Amino acid sequence: MDVGKSFTYMFEDKDWIAKVAIGGVILLVGGLILGWLVIPAIAASILLFGYTLTVIRNVYDGSPNPLPEWNNIGDLFMKGLMGSIGVLIWAIPVIILACCIAMATIAFGSAANDSGRSNIGPAGGLVITCLYCLTTIVGLVISLFVYAPITKFAISNQLSDFWDFRGAWSFIQANPGNYVIAFLLALVANFIAGFGIIACLIGVFFTSFWAMLVMGHLFGQVARTNMNPTSSVPPPAPPMNEPPSMMQGPIEPAPSA
């Protein structure tokens, strides 16, 4: 893997300023209106997710300029929407555990009120703490494995990749070292993006978009290593040695002594 290129390739595009600026502005607008209108904010995230998925596909295809244009917003949004649905499928265990935490908190709180106690008691606190720990562990495991179906979907555009758990595991097993490196470096990129808040607070939106582009390039490289298609045409058979010809000229008699 070319790790350094994943962090700098976007600056090699001749239109990188405009492309990164558009992505940052979309993220900025989505963040600003999140408190008032949730749907437009979600739509902005979906659009940028579709852009990142396209980056993965472009890197896999070996495109010299992986940053896609912004002239096909409809296609980017639909790709991001389908990918978001797939990620939501993987998040179902966390959603269920979160609901369990909410119901446990309400149940123990109601029981405490009925008994005249001001807290939910040691037993209730222990149960809720265990649920929080379990949710954290499950969330970390999902966040590690979900990049496999995300990458496969970016290339195939088949939603079924998200519930092909065996295929996702096979994708990781094909090169676990590169996969883990890409995952860890994506976390590093997001950590670095946090320093963008220094630039008048709004800089973090542009650095966060940069971190998404880094992640897309990293896993595009992983896909290029793991899923590089090979030709199904068998190689040509080696030439056979030509048998000696049966049509030979007359044999010269051996000279007499």
Distance separating alpha carbons of residues 26 and 41, to the nearest angstrom = 9
Residues 6 or more apart whose CB falls under 8 angstroms from that of 1 comprise 178, 181, 182, 218, 221, 222, 225
Q: Which of 22, 49, 8 is nearest to 206 (CA)?
A: 22
Cα 28–Cα 32–Cα 33 angle in degrees, nearest 5? 120
Please provide the average confidence, as pLDDT, over all residues in the chain: 83
Residues 39-93 have pLDDT tens digits of: 778 899 999 999 999 999 999 999 888 999 998 899 999 999 999 999 999 999 9
How do the residues of the chain divide into helix, strand and coil, expressed in percent and rounded to 5? 75, 0, 25
Q: At 187, give phi and psi (nearest 5°).
A: -65, -40
| 192-219 average pLDDT score | 85
The whole-model pTM stands at: 0.79
For the chain, give every domain's residue range: 3-226
- Give 117's pLDDT tier (boundaries 50, 70, 90): low
- State residue 105's pLDDT score: 82
- State residue 233's pLDDT score: 38
- Give 2's pLDDT tier (boundaries 50, 70, 90): confident
| 247-251 average pLDDT score | 48
Cβ pair 86, 159 in contact under 8 A: yes
- Give 121's pLDDT tier (boundaries 50, 70, 90): low
Least confident range from 98-102, 134-138, 169-173, 198-202: namely 198-202
Q: Which residue has the higher pLDDT, 229 or 88?
A: 88
- State residue 116's pLDDT score: 53
Continuous H helices in 61-120 = 73-90, 92-114
Residue 161 has pLDDT above 80, yes or no: yes
- Give 236's pLDDT tier (boundaries 50, 70, 90): very low
- The percentage of residues in the chain with a pLDDT greater than 70, rounded to a whole number, is 79
Residue 212 has pLDDT above 50, yes or no: yes
| 180-190 average pLDDT score | 94
Mean pLDDT highest for which of 22-31, 51-60, 64-73, 248-257? 51-60
- State residue 225's pLDDT score: 87
Distance separating alpha carbons of residues 142 and 129, to the nearest angstrom = 20
Residue 178 has pLDDT above 80, yes or no: yes
- Give 139's pLDDT tier (boundaries 50, 70, 90): very high
User: DSSP per residue over 40-67, as a string?
Assistant: HHHHHHHHHHHHHHHHHHHHHTT-SS-S
